[in-house]
Amino acid sequence: MILPLMPTRYTNKYAIPKTDPSQEGRPRMNNVWQVTVDNMGTVFIGNNGFNAIKTYNECVSLSKSGYGRMSGENVYLIKNGEINKEYHP
């Protein structure tokens, strides 16, 4: 589909409209957060960064404790597939 050109507000040049009809109905790409612990795997996955950081901090405190399955394990906070924070005991 060919998009109609619309005049911009400040110039006489034409610009493609910001809304692309072919993208209608598709969800917008949000940040994907993950918290991964070595011994357990992924313990959090979602779009809410606040909850991801909260879960990461809880996992780090459990890793620092000497008791439980998470004790002494590496913890990673991943945003969009890239490591954002990491804890190594």
Structure tokens at 44: 């959090």
5: pLDDT strictly greater than 80: no
**Burial per residue of 8-40, b for 16 or more beta-carbon CB atoms within 10 angstroms, e otherwise:** eeeeeeeeeeeeeeeeeeeeeeeeebbbbbeee
Q: Are strands 75-79 and 33-37 parallel, antiparallel or unpaired?
A: antiparallel
76: pLDDT strictly greater than 80: yes
Q: What does the alpha-carbon distance between residue 5 and residue 10 come to, in Å, rounded to a whole number?
A: 15
For position 66, what pLDDT does the model report?
Answer: 83
Q: Where are the domains of the chain?
A: 29-87
Confidence label for 79 from pLDDT (cuts 50, 70 and 90): very high
Query: 21-63, pLDDT tens digit by residue?
Result: 555 555 556 889 999 999 899 999 999 999 999 999 999 999 9
- Contacts of residue 42, defined as CB under 8 A and 6 or more positions apart, other chains included, come to 34, 35, 36
67: pLDDT strictly greater than 90: no
